[in-house]
Amino acid sequence: MTTEILVPDIGDFADVEIIEVLVSPGDTVDAEDSLITVESDKASMEIPTPSAGEIVSVAVSVGDRVSEGSLLITLEEGGDTSASVEEEIVEVREADEAFAVTEVAETTPAAAETSQTVEVKVPDIGDFNDVEVIEVLVSAGDTVEKEQSLITLESDKASMEIPSTHAGAIDSVAVSVGDRVSEGDVFAVMTASGAVAATAAPAASKPAKASAPQAAASEPLAPGDTNMKPAPVEPAPPERITSGKAHASPAIRQFVRELGVDVSKVVGTGHKGRITKEDVQNHIKRVIAEHDTNKASSGFSLPTAPEVDFSKWGDVEEVELGRIKKLSGAHLHRAWLSVPHITQFDEADITELEAFRKESKARAEQAGIKLTFMPFLLKACATALKTMPEFNASLTPDGERLILKKYVNIGIAVDTPNGLVVPVVKDVDKKGIFEIGAELMEISANARDGKLRPSDMQGGCFSISSLGGIGGTQFTPIVNAPEVAILGVSKAEMKPVWDGSEFQPRLIMPFSLSYDHRVIDGAQGVRFTTYLGDLLDDIRHLLL
């Protein structure tokens, strides 16, 4: 039967570029074999075939752009093409920064059995490698269903649960919390019930076979193998600028951005010219060697922080900084250095709003919603952003144009045990208070449990950082670039306010607005805070 294979659901990505086509007409593929590799501005991923069979035609080529539902190939479906594999094969798996070469010898059983011992391995998880295990959800002796989650992994981009490929009983678990795994690693052994798939290892993809000698020669071995070191850096080789888009994994691209390196000028020595961490480091060494004599010529260069031996004055303990703090710290550092910040401080009288919130709590609880002040603040900010669209914008990288956004997505800074994360509430201007409150409860719980998806933290137009539940009077939040403004909210307090004849107790909330002075001037900043304060003073303004 001839089947058209389409691009599956790939999240919030659309119109992504094809950087590799891994099959040709006439090729025979197994289910889950990779067909193409696509690359967005956030990640690269391989698209697998859902069925086994023979490739009839390929509808795309390198450089094309595809979205969910685009036609990739036409496939003549066949049986399990791995059933006749009875030989030792070598699987070459490409990682972000290394190639691990593993010899696998497995034999396909003659027929499916009603129960069989199965090794459960880490499936294809994209370009992630050496990913930390943060939860082990089963133990030896547990009975599980097919697709039931067994472990939870967390990379620098997202957390993901790995499901069971079969139903049956867990014999043993080979990992524990804190271990690191990669695609193909065995993390559990189980006795599967019912018919099971053949256990022969699938043949390595053609591109991997072709690149195996190159990978062995140019890449470091897997972690733990100390018998080989990367080749020494040649002194000042001629620079090569690659044509087209540079091929590098998301982790390498982030590493390049943090170092301020032009990725198009880095020579990739990895599989199919992909850029590795060593390539970036060697590029920097060459650039430093070439420009060493001029390294102090710029008066605006930041001096290197001196290394201090603090143990001279007493006992110390060195603790590893959390992963989220490392990532957010680098982003905040870039934002603080690249965005000219101005902060405007103001206050809002939220006495009437707080009274209305308390009156509405019972009705919200009947709907299963914990009604806090935050949904009202989000709604007020959305109204202000619609009224003053320059705050709902981003500056182009060349600083010449302003991108005005027709949607209102607001990020909320959430304090978690692992650090600060900023999930985004989408289309705030189109939602009611109860709907926003329910969504806030969900994303806050996911943030604290480490279950936020990458798409949950993308697409923000404006951010809010609220410390009102902790304390403080005022603070200066850092703009979450490429946004142009961020609101900081402090703890509200009862204060005496003069009404013209006497002092009245009023609930006053201090807040601060930091903004990019290249886009927003001081007068605009004051108008925004004044308008936002008016909206919070009288909630009826939100209906206008």
- Same domain as 412, residue 528: yes
143 and 54 within one domain: no
The total number of structural domains in the chain stands at 3
Please indicate, yes or no, if residue 444 is contained in any of the structural domains. Answer: yes
Range from 10-14, 160-164, 247-251, 532-536 that averages highest in pLDDT: 532-536
Residue 214 lies in a domain: no
Look at the pTM and tell me if it is higher than 0.95.
no
Phi/psi class of residue 126: alpha, beta or left (left: φ > 0; alpha: ψ in -120 to 50)?
left
Residues near 26 by Cβ (< 8 Å), separated by ≥ 6? 54, 55
Average pLDDT value for residue range 458-478: 91
Range of the domain at 112: 105-202
Average pLDDT score, the chain = 79
| Domain stops at, among 65, 81, 97 | 81
> Is residue 290 pLDDT above 90, yes or no?
no
Verify that 512 and 383 share a domain, yes or no: yes
CATH number, position 501: 3.30.559.10
Q: Which of 202, 223, 240 is the last residue of a domain?
A: 202
Residues 347, 436 within the same domain: yes
* Same domain as 175, residue 45: no
111 plus 52 within the same structural domain: no
At position 195, the amino acid (one-letter code) is A
Q: Which amino acid is at 408?
A: V
Render pLDDT for 336-371 as a digit per residue (tens, 0 to 9).
888 999 999 999 999 999 999 999 999 999 999 999
The answer to whether residue 146 is domain-embedded is yes
The answer to whether residues 410 and 508 belong to one domain is: yes
Q: How confident is the model at residue 321 (pLDDT cuts 50, 70, 90)?
A: confident
* Model confidence at 98: pLDDT above 50: no
Lowest mean pLDDT among 113-122, 170-179, 206-215, 410-419: 206-215
Do both 17 and 147 map to the same domain? Answer: no
For residue 237, what pLDDT band results from cuts at 50, 70 and 90? Answer: very low
Question: Are 129 and 40 members of one domain?
Answer: no
Output the pLDDT for position 271: 67
Q: Are 394 and 484 in contact (CB under 8 A)?
A: yes
pLDDT over 70 (residue 515): yes
Residue 386 in domain: yes
**pLDDT at site 374:** 95
Q: Report whether pLDDT(202) > 50.
A: no
Spatial CB neighbours of 438, under 8 Å, sequence gap ≥ 6:
367, 368, 369
In a domain, 443, yes or no: yes
What would the mean pLDDT of 3-19 be, rounded to a whole number?
A: 81
- pLDDT tens-digit series, residues 184-195: 899 999 998 764
pLDDT grade, residue 112 (50/70/90)?
very low
Q: Looking at the domain assignment, is residue 361 inside a domain?
A: yes
Region 210-237 average pLDDT: 39
Give the highest mean pLDDT range of 156-165, 239-248, 325-334, 488-497. 488-497
**Domain closes at, from 157, 173, 202:** 202
Higher pLDDT, 441 or 196: 441
Per the domain annotation, does 332 fall within a domain? no
The mean-pLDDT minimum among 3-12, 82-91, 165-174 falls in 82-91
Active site residues: 517
pLDDT at 377: 96
Q: Which residue has the higher pLDDT, 204 or 191?
A: 191
User: Are 19 and 154 contained in the same domain?
Assistant: no
- pLDDT at position 424 over 80: yes
Let me know whether 421 and 507 are in one domain.
Answer: yes
CA distance 117 to 27: 31
pLDDT tier at 531, thresholds 50, 70, 90 = very high
* Pairing state between β 485-489 and 462-466: parallel
- The CATH number given to whatever domain includes residue 115 is 2.40.50.100
* pLDDT given for residue 39 in this prediction: 78
Give yes or no for residue 488 having a pLDDT over 80: yes
Q: What are the backbone angles phi and psi of residue 133, rounded to the nearest 5°?
A: -85, 120
Least confident of 82-96, 241-255, 523-537: 82-96
How confident is residue 127, by pLDDT bands cut at 50, 70 and 90?
low
For every residue of 204-262, DSSP letters joined together read PPHHHHHHHHHHHHHSPPSTT--S--PPPPPSSPPP-PPSSS--B-HHHHHHHHHHT--
Q: Are residues 361 and 485 in the same domain?
A: yes
Q: Would residue 288 count as lying in a domain?
A: no
Averaged pLDDT, 503-527: 95
